[in-house]
Structure 1
Amino acid sequence: MLKNYFKIAWRNLIKQKGTSFISIFGLACAVACCLVAYLFIEQVWFKGMLQPNKKEIFQLTYTTAEENGIVRYGTVADPIAELLPEEIPYIKSQTQVKTRIPVLIHDLESYQQRAMYVDPGFMDMFSFNLKYGYSGALNDPERVILTEQLSEKLFAESNPMDQEITLVLNGEEKQYKVGGVMQKLSDMELFNFDLLVNNESIKSAYNPASLKDKWNSESWTFIQIEKGIDPSQVQTELAALQKRQNEINPDNPYLSLDLVAYTDLVKMSGEIKNGVISFLAIGPQILLGAIGLFILILAVFNYINISILMATRRIKEIGVRKVIGSRKGQLITQFLSENLMVCFLSIVFGCLLAAIFLLPGFNQIADKNLQLDLFNDPFIWAFLIALTGFITLASGLYPAVFVSSFKPVSILKGNQQLGSKSFLTTVLLTFQFTLAIISIVAGVAFLQTNYINQNRDWGYDNRDKIIVNVPEAKEYSNFKDKLLALAAVEEISGSQNYVGNWQEEKEVSYQEQNHPIAHLKAEGNYAQLLDLRLKEGRFLDPDRISDQEEAILVNEKFMKSLGLTFPVEESVLIDSANYQIVGVVEDFHAFAFEAPIESMVIQAGADSIYSYLTLKMSPGTAAASMDLVKKTWREFFPRGLFEGKLQTEVFDPSFRDVRGVQNVILFAAILSVLLSAMGLFGLVSLNMNARIKDYCVRKIFGAAIVDLSQKLFMRYLISWIIAAVLGGGIAYLIVKSFLDSFFAYHAGVGLVPIGSGVLVLLIVIGVTVSSQLWKVYYANPSQILKSE
C-alpha cells in the first residue's frame, strides 16, 4: 500500500510541475536557512562532541572564596599536572594548555597568531586528522603543528614539512620547524588555535623561581582516565593534591579540586571563570534562530496553501476513492506520504542550497568555518530527521484532514467548492504578508543605519593620516626622526593609544564626585595633527612645560557630563593629580560607531615614550606611502609585528560586522517576499480554478476585465491592509528595540522603512494577481463551459 502511495505521489509531482516546484523550492529555502542557523548554534553548544574519547576526558577546576562568593576557576596550579601521575594511577594521558598570541615571522612578514602551548599528551588525548606529518611531532620541542588555514597562509598549497618559522613571545625569539599540518578544523572543535607548540619550549620564559610562585602559575589541565574507571575514584584522589596546594600556597586556598567532564564544559561555561569557553554568542544565536524559524513558518504556510491548490485538481479522484471504500484514515495516510516525498526532496535540495550557496556566504560574513559534514556529524542527521518529521506534519496534516473530510456525494455532484472562501488560507496569507513587511522594514532600517554610520561625520578629518606601532621603546626617538625625514610626512605625533582603538578607562574627580572617562595620553600636538575641531579655549602646547604636567583637553561630552561651562576655574583630579581644562573640542568618535561617544580626556606627557605614532601626510599621499612607511619600520623592527593602518580604516571591523548582520537580514527579507509571492500565486490560482466558469459566464454577458478583477483584487487588498497595520506596528516596536540595543546612533524606524515594506508588498500583490488574470482575459468561454 505504501509503495502505491509513493507511486501516486511521484506521478502527481511530475504531473503538476509548476506547483511542485513552488512547494519544493519554498521548503528547500527554509531548510537551508534552518541548517545554517542550526550549524551555528551546534558549533557553540556541541563543541568538541566529535572527539572519540570525549567521555574519558576531564578538566581540572578549583573553587575558592572571593568577595562575591564562591568562584570556580578553569585553571589550576601548574605543579598539580606534574604530580597527577604520582598521585592517581588511573590516568591514561594528561596535558597542560597555555594560550598565547606570539608574533609569527616567516619570509620577513610578521603575523599575530593564536598559539596553544601544550604537552605532547595533547595529541594522544584529542584526535585530529593530519594532512601532513604525524601526531607525535610535538614530542620534539623544536617542532610545531599548524592548522591547514595557517599553512595555506604561510606556504600556499605546498607541503610545509620541515620549513622554518620564528615565534616571538615576551621578547624571546625562538625558531621551530613544521612537524605537521592538521586538516581543516570545523567549528565543532572546542579549542581555537592556529598552531600547537610544545610546552617545554617556553618553560624557561615563564618558569617561576620560587616554589610559591610555581603554585601561583596556572594552566588549563586535562586528563584522560582509563576506560571503565569511575570518575568519582579520581575525584577522591584529588583531595591529597588540594591539601598540598593549600599548604604550599595558603594565600590562595582551594575549597575543592574538582573534575568537570569534557562534555559538560560548554553548558557550564557560565559557571567557570577563565574557562575554555568564554563566549556563547547568545545574541547571534537568537538572531539566526529567529530568522530560520521565520522563514520556516512562511514556507510551511505557503505549502499549506499550495497543498490545497493541488488537491482541487484531484477532487474527483478523492470522491471515487471514497465511493469504492477508502476510509478517511487511509486518505490522510496517502496525502501525508505524498507530503513526505515533497519534504524529503526539500531536505535534499535544502542541503545542497546550504552547502553550495548559504554556508560559503555566511562563513565569509561571519568569519566562520561551518561545514555540512553528513558523514562525520551524527547530530546533523538527528536534526534533519526531526526537521523532516516536523515539516511533514506541520505542512501536510491540515490539508490531508481537510480534503479527506469531503463528502463523496457533494464531490461527484460538483457541489463541493474549494478555495473561494477558505478562511484559514486567507489568515495564513495575511500572516505571511505581515511577516514579509516586518522583514522588509528590518532590512531597510539596517541598510539606512549602516549607510548613515558609514557617512557620519567622525568629528575630525581622518584623511591623509597613517598610524604605525612602535614595538620597542629604545628605538622610539630614532624611528620617529626617520619617519619625519620622509618627504611625504608633514607632521608626526606619538600617543599611548590612538583614536579609533580602545581607550584606557579612568575616573575623574570633580567636587567630590567621580565620573568615568576615556583617557588618551599623547604628545601635545596630537589633537591638532588629528584635526580635532576646537570649540573653546586652546589646544595643548607641546612647548609649554605646564601643559605637559597639569593641562588637559576634553570633549563636549565631558563638559556636559560634569555640568561645566568654559572656562573652568577649578581643576579636576585624575590619578591623584590636579589638571586644568585648557580647551574643549567637538565630540568625535574615538572607539566604535555603534557605541555612544564617551567623555574624553587628552593628556600630554613630558618626554614620554609612546606605543604609536600618527603621521600627517601630504594631501592624497597616505595610501601610496604605506609601503615606504612599512619598509622604514622593518629597518628598525625586523622581528616585530607591523600594525600600520590608515586612519580611515580604524572603524572597518565595526562596519564589516554591521554589514554582515545587514546582509543576513536583507537576505531574509528578500526570501520572505519571494515565499509570500509564491503563496499568493498558489491562492490566486486556486481561486481562479474554482471560479473560472463563473468568470466565463460573466464575460459572455459583457463584463469587462476590470469588473472581473475588481473583486479578486479587493480580497487580497484587505489582507494587505490588515498586514500593513499589523506588520508596520509590530516592526516599529521590534526593529526599533533591536536597533536601540545595538546602536547608539541609528536611522530609527520611520516612514521610509515602513513605507518600503508596505509598498513592496503591494507591488508584489499587484504583479502576482495580474499575472493570473490572463486566464480570464484569454479564456474561451465555449471551451470551458463545454464540460457542463
Structure 2
Amino acid sequence: MPTKQHNSPPRWADRFLRWYCREDLLEGIQGDAYELFYRRTTNNGSFKASRLFIWDVLRFFRPTNIRKTQNYYNNAMIRNYFKLGFRSLSKNKVPSIINIAGLSISIGIAITTFMFVDFYLNIDTFHKNINEIYYVQSDIKLSTGTNRYGTTPAPLKDLLSNDEPSVKKVARIIDKEGIIRYEDQVFYDNFRFADPEFLDIFTFPLAHGSNEIAYDKSKVILSKNVAERFFDQELAIGKMITIIIDGERREYEVGGVAEKFPENASFSFGVLIPFENQVGWVDTDYTDWSEVVYGTFVQLKKEASTEGLKKILESSVPIQNLANPERPIMSYHLEPMSTASKNGYNVNSNILFGNHPAGVYGMLMISVLLLALTCINYTNIAVSSTTNRLKEIALRKVIGGNRKELIYQFLIENLILCTIALILAIGLAKYFLLPGLNSSVPITFPFVLAPRFWVFILLLLAFTSIASGAYPALYISKFQPVEIFRGKEKFGKSIFSKVMLTIQFAIALNLIISAFIFSQTEAYQKNLDWGYTKAQKIVLPVANQEQFRKLADEMELNPDVNKISGAKNHFGSSTQRSTITFDNEQYEVRLMETSADYLSFMGVNLLSGSFFKEEKTSDYLESVIINETFMESLGWENWEGKVISYDSNKYHVIGLVQDFHYHSFYTKIYPAFFKPVKEDQLRFLVAGINEGKAAKTEEYARKIWKENLPDLPYAGFFQDSVFDFFFQETKANVGLMNFLGGVAIILSCMGLYGLVSFNISKRMKELSLRKIMGAGSWNIFKQINKGFIIILLIAILLAAPLTYVLMSNLISSIYEYYEPINIKSFGLAFILLLITVSLTVSMQIFKVFKSNPVDALRDE
C-alpha cells in the first residue's frame, strides 16, 4: 500500500476497495488510485481529489475485479450438519423433549395471539367501500360531562341525502327483538330494520336474490345461519315466514339469503327487514328530530372530503336540541368505518362489536413473555448440556474444524428443534388453544392460513431459532481443545444463566399472582350481596297484557307459588336510559317501570319513605322512588320534598331504597329511579316459589306456557341465573390465567432443571469431596439450594411491585366490583413456586446422593 501522506483519501472508499478487490489485483489498482489522488490534491485541491477517488473506486467495481468468495459450506457439509443435528436430538432425549415441549407451548400461544391480533386489526376490512364509509356519532352534554353515543336523530338521513352533494348513500339501522316462525319451528331472534341502501353501502353479498330485494317492503333477507336453521338444505326463497314483535305478527316472503358472513364482521344481521316496515311495530315518527335510530352510516363519493358533511351535520344541531332539549347534542363525530370497531369501546349504545385495546395489548404481552421464557429455557438447558459434548467439540477442533463451523452446526441443530416445535405448535394452536379461547369469548376467532400467517410463521421460526440458539452456540464453541482434554475447562460463574432464571421466575410469579388475583376476584363476586332476594323466583317474559293475565291466572292456581308480581323493566334484564331535570340541570339516569308491589316483592331494602301503593292513583301519576346513587349524584342530603322532571312531567320522590345490582358486576350501580305502571305495560311476570319447589314449579310453568302460548318458545328463567353470563365469563378468565400460570411454572422449572444440572456438573468434584469428608445430605442440599433461593427472593422483589401496578389497573378496567389486591395472592404464589423449585432441585440433588464420589475423583 502506498505511503500515507498528510491528505488521505476517504477511508470508507479505501476499505470498500480492499473488501471487493481481488488480492492479485489490489496492489496495482490501489496504488494507481492513490497516485492519482495525491496528484489531484496538488493540482485541484483535496475536496475534488476525494470525489474523484470515490469515482475511481466505484469505476473499478467490475465482475473481473471482484474477489471470489470461498464457499466453505458445500451441500455435503450442510447435509452433515443436519445429520449431526438429528443425531444430537436423539442422543440427548430428555433435554430435547423438554425444549420441544416448552417451545411448542409458547409458540402455540404466540400463534393463537397472532390470530387474535390479526382478527382485531382486520375487522371489517372485507367491505369494499370501507374507506368511504363513516359512522355518525353524537356527543351529548350531560351533568357529568360529554358522552359519545352511537345513536343519532332519525331525520338525519333525509337531510344528508338531499342537501349534501358529497354524500353518495345513507342508511339507518334499528334493532328489535322478537319471534320468527315457520310452520312448527319457532325461535327468538334479533331483527335488523335498515334502509335499502344498507346492502349497497356494506359488502354483504347474497347467495340467493339481489340487493334490489331490500327495496321490496313485502320481503325480508335472511342470514345463512337463520335460513339453514329453518329450511336446512331446502331453498328458502319464496317461503312465507311469520315475524312477531311485541305480540303483533306479520307475514313476510323470504326474498334473499345472504352468504356466510366473514368472521371479522363487527356487525351483521339475522333477519334484515326494510326500515319502513317498523311503522306499526314501533310507535315512533321518524321525521321527528327528537326520535333516534341505533346507527346512521354515510358513504361518501370517491375522494370526497368530509368537510361539507361536517358542516351540514353541525347546522342540524340547533334543530335537534330544540326538538329534544333533554338530550342536547354538542356536536357530531364522523368515525371512519376502518376504525369504528377498534374505537368503539368508548361509545355508548354502539351497535358495532369490538375489542378493548387493553385485551389486545395484554395478549401480546403475555405471548412475548412466554416466548421469552422458553428461549431462556433453551439457553439454560443447552448450556447445561455442554459438559456432555466437550470432547466432541475438542475433537472437531483438533481435526481442523473452526469456531465458525461449530457455531453453524449448533444453530442448525437449534433450527431443527425449533422446526419440530413449530409444527407441533401449529397443531396445538389449531386444535386446542384457539378453540379454548373461542369457548371463553362471545365471538369465534378463525384459524386462517393467509399469506400473512406464513410470513409470521417464518419470522417466528427465525426469531426463536436465533434468540434461543445464539448464546449457546457462541458459548459452547469458545472452549479450547487443550483445556478440554486436560479437564481444565472453565465454565465461569454462569451469571448470564442466573440472570435469565431470575427473569423467568419474575415472569412466572407475575402470571401466578395474576391467576390468584383473578380467582379471588371470582370468589368475591360470587359472594357479593345482590341487594335483593334473588332465590326462589321464576320469571316469564310476556309481550302484552293478555299474555301476562293468562299466565298469572294459571300460576296463581299453583299451591307452590306464593306471590305474583310484574315489571316492564326487570332486574338483570332491562332498564331504560333516561334524562331527568332538577334545578335546570340535566342528569342521565336509569328508569325502571314496575308494578306497584314489585320492589317490596323482590326484597329491595327501603331506607326511608314508603313503597308504592297499588290502590293509590297518585303514585302512578306523580310518584317515584330513587336509589342511593341517584341521591348522591344529584348532591342531595335529603330526598324529602324533592321534585324531578321527566318526559315533561313532574314527579315527587316518596322513598329511598338501598343500592342493589340491577346490572351485572361489569358496570357500577347507576343512579336509578322507579316508577309504577299498570298491568297493560308489564313485560315480565315474576312468581315467588315456596322453598324446595323450584324444579316442580318450572315444570308447571313450561306446561301452562305451552297450553296458553303454543306459538312461542318457552323463555322462562330463574332470577338467580340472570348474571350467569357474567360468572361464566369470569370463570373463563380465571381458567385462562390458571392455564398461563401453569405454563409459566412448567417453563420456569424446565429452565431451573437446566441450570441445576449445569451447576451440579460444575461442582461434582467439590460435592464428592464433601461427601468423603463426612458432609450429610442436608449440608449438600443447602449448598446447592442456597443460590436458587436467593434468585427466587430477587425475583419476587422484582415481580411484586410490577404485578401490583399492572393487576390493579387491569382488574379496575374490567370490573367495577372486586376485592382489593392483598398480600395473600403474593404469598400463595411465592409458596407455590418455592415448593415447585424445591421439588425440581431435589430431583437433581437425589442423583448426587446416589452417585459414588470415586467416579468423580478417579482422574484427580
**TM-score normalised to structure 1 length:** 0.81
Structure 2 Cα separation of the partners of residues 343 and 724 of structure 1: 31
1:768 aligns with 2:840: yes
1:21 aligns with 2:97: yes
Q: Within 5 Å, which residues of 2 pair with 1:30-69?
A: 30-49=106-125, 51=126, 54=128, 59=133
Q: Deviations over 1:272-304 (max 9, x none)?
A: 999985634323212222222222222122122
Equivalent of 1:410 in 474, 483, 486: 483
Q: Secondary structure at the match of 1:724?
A: helix
Q: Which has the larger radius of gyration?
A: 2
Structure 2 Cα separation of the partners of residues 601 and 212 of structure 1: 27
* Residue of structure 2 in register with 1:685 after alignment: 757
| C-alpha deviation, 1:450, in angstroms | 0.8
Structure 2 residue identity aligned to 1:570: G
* Residue of structure 2 in register with 1:332 after alignment: 407
Structure 2 Cα separation of the partners of residues 12 and 5 of structure 1: 10
Q: Secondary structure at the match of 1:366?
A: coil
* Residue of structure 2 in register with 1:392 after alignment: 465
On the 8 A contact 1:62/1:76 being kept in 2, the answer is no
Equivalent of 1:719 in 774, 777, 791: 791
Distance 1:510 1:627, change over 3 A: same
| C-alpha deviation, 1:697, in angstroms | 3.3
Structure 1 residue identity aligned to 2:269: F
* Residue of structure 1 in register with 2:779 after alignment: 707
**Greater mean alpha carbon deviation, residues 10-19 or residues 364-373:** 364-373
Structure 1 Cα separation of the partners of residues 309 and 515 of structure 2: 57
On the 8 A contact 1:468/1:612 being kept in 2, the answer is yes
| C-alpha deviation, 1:121, in angstroms | 11
Structure 1 residue identity aligned to 2:567: S
| C-alpha deviation, 1:626, in angstroms | 3.4
Equivalent of 2:570 in 491, 498, 501: 498
On the 8 A contact 2:213/2:255 being kept in 1, the answer is no
- Once the two structures are aligned, what percentage of the paired residues are identical? 25
Q: Secondary structure at the match of 1:540?
A: coil
Q: Secondary structure at the match of 1:113?
A: strand
Structure 2 Cα separation of the partners of residues 246 and 724 of structure 1: 56
Equivalent of 2:642 in 546, 558, 571: 571
Structure 2 Cα separation of the partners of residues 674 and 718 of structure 1: 20
Structure 2 Cα separation of the partners of residues 580 and 241 of structure 1: 44
Higher relative contact order (CA 8 A, sep 6+): 1
Q: Secondary structure at the match of 1:314?
A: helix
Q: Secondary structure at the match of 1:683?
A: helix
Equivalent of 1:596 in 668, 684, 688: 668
1:644 aligns with 2:754: no
Q: Deviations over 1:596-651 (max 9, x none)?
A: 33444333346762332322233333444335435545666666676532211111
1:738 aligns with 2:810: yes
Q: Within 5 Å, which residues of 2 pair with 1:214-225?
A: 220=297
Q: Secondary structure at the match of 1:468?
A: strand
Structure 2 Cα separation of the partners of residues 544 and 494 of structure 1: 17
On the 8 A contact 2:81/2:409 being kept in 1, the answer is yes
| C-alpha deviation, 1:710, in angstroms | 1.5
Distance 1:627 1:45, change over 3 A: farther
Equivalent of 1:383 in 441, 453, 456: 456
Structure 2 residue identity aligned to 1:382: V
1:6 aligns with 2:43: no
Equivalent of 1:350 in 404, 420, 425: 425
Q: Deviations over 1:310-365 (max 9, x none)?
A: 33322233333334444443333332222222222222111111111111111111
* Residue of structure 1 in register with 2:359 after alignment: 284
1:297 aligns with 2:369: no
Structure 1 Cα separation of the partners of residues 266 and 588 of structure 2: 37
On the 8 A contact 2:138/2:149 being kept in 1, the answer is yes
Structure 2 Cα separation of the partners of residues 414 and 504 of structure 1: 82
| C-alpha deviation, 1:712, in angstroms | 0.6
Q: Within 5 Å, which residues of 2 pair with 1:551-630?
A: 551-558=623-630, 569-575=640-646, 577-582=650-655, 584-605=656-677, 609-630=681-702
**Greater mean alpha carbon deviation, residues 471-480 or residues 308-317:** 471-480
On the 8 A contact 1:468/1:613 being kept in 2, the answer is yes
Equivalent of 1:532 in 600, 604, 618: 604
Q: Within 5 Å, which residues of 2 pair with 1:70-85?
A: none
* Residue of structure 2 in register with 1:657 after alignment: 729
Q: Secondary structure at the match of 2:596?
A: coil
Q: Deviations over 1:643-668 (max 9, x none)?
A: 53221111112222222222211111
Q: Secondary structure at the match of 2:573?
A: coil
| C-alpha deviation, 1:504, in angstroms | 3.2
On the 8 A contact 2:179/2:245 being kept in 1, the answer is no
Structure 1 Cα separation of the partners of residues 202 and 452 of structure 2: 22
Structure 2 Cα separation of the partners of residues 187 and 648 of structure 1: 33
On the 8 A contact 2:103/2:418 being kept in 1, the answer is yes
Structure 1 Cα separation of the partners of residues 138 and 530 of structure 2: 46
* Residue of structure 1 in register with 2:64 after alignment: none
| C-alpha deviation, 1:705, in angstroms | 2.2
Structure 1 Cα separation of the partners of residues 628 and 316 of structure 2: 54
Structure 1 Cα separation of the partners of residues 543 and 843 of structure 2: 67
Q: Deviations over 1:576-597 (max 9, x none)?
A: 5241434x44432221224333
Structure 2 Cα separation of the partners of residues 700 and 525 of structure 1: 87
Q: Which runs of 5+ in 2 are unaligned?
A: 1-72, 321-333
| C-alpha deviation, 1:756, in angstroms | 0.8
Structure 1 Cα separation of the partners of residues 520 and 359 of structure 2: 21
* Residue of structure 1 in register with 2:510 after alignment: 438
On the 8 A contact 2:383/2:472 being kept in 1, the answer is yes
1:320 aligns with 2:395: yes
Structure 2 residue identity aligned to 1:30: S
On the 8 A contact 2:106/2:374 being kept in 1, the answer is yes
**Greater mean alpha carbon deviation, residues 742-751 or residues 31-40:** 742-751
On the 8 A contact 2:107/2:371 being kept in 1, the answer is yes
| C-alpha deviation, 1:73, in angstroms | 11
**Greater mean alpha carbon deviation, residues 12-21 or residues 527-536:** 527-536
Structure 1 Cα separation of the partners of residues 727 and 461 of structure 2: 38
Q: Deviations over 1:531-587 (max 9, x none)?
A: 223444443322233444444434455556667677x653342425241434x4443
Taking only aligned residues, the RMSD between alpha carbons, in angstroms, comes to 4.8
Distance 1:650 1:397, change over 3 A: same
On the 8 A contact 1:442/1:735 being kept in 2, the answer is yes
* Residue of structure 2 in register with 1:750 after alignment: 822
On the 8 A contact 1:55/1:262 being kept in 2, the answer is no
Structure 1 residue identity aligned to 2:82: F
| C-alpha deviation, 1:20, in angstroms | 0.8
Structure 1 Cα separation of the partners of residues 318 and 625 of structure 2: 47
On the 8 A contact 1:445/1:748 being kept in 2, the answer is no
Distance 1:599 1:115, change over 3 A: closer
Q: Within 5 Å, which residues of 2 pair with 1:197-276?
A: 220=297, 232=303, 235=304
Q: Secondary structure at the match of 2:440?
A: helix
Equivalent of 2:543 in 449, 471, 477: 471
Distance 1:76 1:408, change over 3 A: farther
